[in-house]
Amino acid sequence: MKKEKKGWKDLPIGLAWKSGSSKEFETGDWRSDKPIWDEKKCTHCLICWIYCPDSAIIIKDGKVQGIDYKYCKGCGICAEECPPKIKAITMVREEK
Amino acid sequence: MIVARTGNEAMAEAMRQINPDVVAAYPITPATEVVQLFASFVADGQVTTEFVPAESEHSALSACVGASAAGARVMTSTSSQGLALMHEILFIAAGLRLPIVICLVNRALSSPINIHCDHSDSLASRDSGWLQIFTENTQEAYDTTIMAVKMAEEIMLPAMVTTDGFIISHGMERIELIDDEKVPKWLGERKVVNNLLDVDNPITLGMLDLQDYYFEHKRQEIEAMNNCLPIIEKVQKEFGDTFGRYYPIVDEYKMEDAEVAILAMGSTGGTGKVAVDRMREKGKKVGLIRCRIYRPFPKEAMLNAIMKVKVLGVMDRADTLSTLGGHLYNDCRSILYESAKKPLMKNYIYGLGGRDISIEEIEEVFEQLLKIKDTGRIDKDIVYYGVRGE
């Protein structure tokens, strides 16, 4: 559903907005390559989580749960940094 | 209290009395003294200001932006290349609607390197969304520095108050100071709309705004500029009612029955007024218009003034290098477009890099304008007045 956007008279003055609003800015649609995470291969070393510039690796109780595609821009750093012997993340072409 | 002060001393005194929360600055000729004197006020405990000696003007204004966003009353001072180095941050301060005040000492921009007065520095920042107020003398510089704080805070746009480099900044004049305690009392506290340090209501400031919202935010900023002249007028009246010195939006001198006039900004307003007096003694009906508030451009007041005369000589102390003449000349041509009746106009680009303009030379300009009035003919629209080889 398309969200109704505000006109200039309805915006707060001075480029100020409630904090944490970048969560509403979903950057996942920028992606052309998509990381695929393999649960069976993953050792939960969390290197992908450390390197991800978009905090798109979902972690729960110290373990990787998957990738948040709402924010993942498909940069491929996670796949690059995943240890070569493990290779739990591979990049595939995004299909629309 | 009546004292003798240079323009820089007067602006520093105003800053001392304002006692801003933060001053971040980097020294540059001819504005150095403003912050140098202010630094000694800080060192002597005469103000409670947090003074940030930054490593460049870019950093100085960046620090001002941060402090102002945190709710502080913030000021700085600069000139020429310093303002040019602030250029990127000027737009950010205006876009974030932060009421920072710059005491700007007008000086020519390089190249060639020159430390003397023309208006190329502030006029190059014309479109950055700052209020620009050009002062004629030391008293006006002092008063306007104080007024600018209130204007900027009410409008929520930053403001630069200018003096002509060396002519005002280093020239000593008799001025009347307001009592120290009256200045902060008149200004009151800054009312902060978006406070970055309000931890109970956290905000983000200066976020990314691509195709979907940039235009809307810019439109808001434009609206603030569109609507702020009445606020400027109100603050000037409040200042006058409290301290007895009133300032106009557009300064008109002996314009009631004038047939020709010159329009100028800064200290040339003062020189020009003496030239007007001398011409009047000779029975010539001449007058002077001084553009005090340059941004926003006071369309109505300016039209009202320039429509009084048959011939107008627009004196620009900078060139736009657009082949279209100076800034003021362009603005006046623009506001006259819809007028059925318009004065004949001639543009005098003068005084670049501190080239002196004397009373006699302004009298000569008046003589030329009177001749245009008699003949109804202008042979050249734009002249470079006072340059050798013309």
Cα–Cα distance for residue pair B180/B146, rounded to 1 Å: 12
Of B129, B82, B133, B90, residue with least CA distance to B108: B82
pTM for the structure as a whole: 0.91
Query: Cβ separation of A16 and B219 shorter than 8 Å?
Result: no
The whole-number pLDDT of residue B28 equals: 98
Q: Please classify residue B377 by burial: count the beta carbons closer than 10 Å to its beta carbon, then call 0-12 exposed, 13-18 middle and 19+ buried.
A: exposed
Q: How confident is the model at residue B208 (pLDDT cuts 50, 70, 90)?
A: confident
Average per-residue pLDDT for chain B: 97
The whole-number pLDDT of residue A96 equals: 64
- pLDDT digit string, tens, across residues B100-140: 999 999 999 999 999 999 999 999 999 999 999 999 999 99
Using DSSP, state whether A53 is helix, strand or coil.
Answer: coil
Per cent of chain A over pLDDT 70 is 96
| CB nearest A11 (choices: B194, B203, B220) | B220
Q: What DSSP line would sit under B343-368, residue for residue? A: -EEEEEEE-GGG----HHHHHHHHHH
Q: How confident is the model at residue B206 (pLDDT cuts 50, 70, 90)?
A: confident
Mean pLDDT over B346-357 rounds to 98
Query: Cβ separation of A16 and B204 shorter than 8 Å?
Result: yes
Take residue B248 and report the two structure tokens written for it: 């106009």
Q: How confident is the model at residue A25 (pLDDT cuts 50, 70, 90)?
A: confident
Query: Cβ separation of B97 and A15 shorter than 8 Å?
Result: yes
The whole-number pLDDT of residue B228 equals: 98
Using DSSP, state whether B40 is helix, strand or coil.
Answer: helix
Q: Which amino acid is at B334?
A: S
| CB nearest B205 (choices: A7, A15, A20) | A15
Cα B10 from chain centroid? 15
The whole-number pLDDT of residue B308 equals: 97
Mean pLDDT over B339-351 rounds to 97
Q: Of all residues in chain A, what percent are helix, strand and coil, respectively (each to 5)? A: 20, 25, 55
Per cent of chain B over pLDDT 90 is 96
> Within the 285-344 window of chain B, which residues sit less than 8 Å (CB to CB) from chain A?
none
Backbone angles phi, psi at B324, to 5 degrees: -110, 10
Q: DSSP letter at B260?
A: E
Residue B390 in this model has a pLDDT that exceeds 90: no
* Nearest chain A CA: its distance from B34 CA (Å): 29
Cβ-based neighbours of B352, under 8 Å, separated by 6 or more: B108, B118, B120, B317, B318, B319, B387
Bridge partners (DSSP) of residue B148 are none
- CB proximity A13 to B under 8 Å: yes
Q: Which amino acid is at B312?
A: L
Number of A:B CB contacts under 8 A? 59
Residues in chain B within 8 Å Cβ distance of A15:
95-97, 205-207, 209, 217
Query: Cβ separation of B97 and A13 shorter than 8 Å?
Result: yes
Cα–Cα distance for residue pair B153/B98, rounded to 1 Å: 8
Q: Please give the residue of chain A at the shortest CA–CA distance from B98.
A: A14
> Within the 188-227 window of chain B, which residues sit less than 8 Å (CB to CB) from chain A?
193-194, 202-209, 212-213, 215-217, 219-220, 223
Lowest mean pLDDT, pick from A4-8, B42-46, B219-223, B255-259: A4-8
- pLDDT digit string, tens, across residues B274-288: 999 999 999 999 999
DSSP H helices, chain A, are: 47-51, 77-81
> Within the 62-91 window of chain A, which residues sit less than 8 Å (CB to CB) from chain B?
none
Average per-residue pLDDT for chain A: 93
The whole-number pLDDT of residue B207 equals: 83
Query: Cβ separation of A8 and B223 shorter than 8 Å?
Result: yes
User: Count of residues for chain A?
Assistant: 96
Query: Cβ separation of B202 and A7 shorter than 8 Å?
Result: no
Q: Which amino acid is at B137?
A: N
Q: How confident is the model at residue A2 (pLDDT cuts 50, 70, 90)?
A: low
The whole-number pLDDT of residue A1 equals: 46
Mean pLDDT over B189-197 rounds to 92
Residues in chain B within 8 Å Cβ distance of A7:
216
- pLDDT digit string, tens, across residues B64-88: 999 999 999 999 999 999 999 999 9
* Nearest chain A CA: its distance from B90 CA (Å): 14
Residues in chain A within 8 Å Cβ distance of B223:
8
Q: Please give the residue of chain A at the shortest CA–CA distance from B219.
A: A8
